[in-house]
Amino acid sequence: MVRAILADKSVEFTARALTRNVNSDKAKVLADMGVEVVAVDIDDYKSLKKAFTGVYGVYVVTFFWEHFSPEK
């Protein structure tokens, strides 16, 4: 998904990836591709709100199996 956003030169979107660890290998690869990588804490509403501020659209993958809570 992020590669498609980055490759589409007809729109002026910035891809933003939310992660628990901006220093992970995967986060670094995304940053090297030109993705804005932002640290968030799923249990901290303010960090999530800040991370989603100003976005146009969202593609979300959750980690339900870690907490087994549909509300989260």
Give the residue extent of every domain in the chain: 14-67
The confidence score (pLDDT) of residue 61 equals 80
Quote the tokens at residue 24.
């992970």
Residue 38 host element (H or E): strand 36-39
The confidence score (pLDDT) of residue 72 equals 66
The number of C-alpha atoms within 13 Å of 32 and in the hemisphere containing its C-beta is: 7
Give, for all 72 residues of the chain, the pLDDT tens digit: 788 888 888 888 889 999 999 999 999 999 999 999 999 998 899 999 999 999 988 888 877 777 777 776
The confidence score (pLDDT) of residue 40 equals 94
Q: What is the DSSP string of 13-25?
A: ---EEEES-TTSH
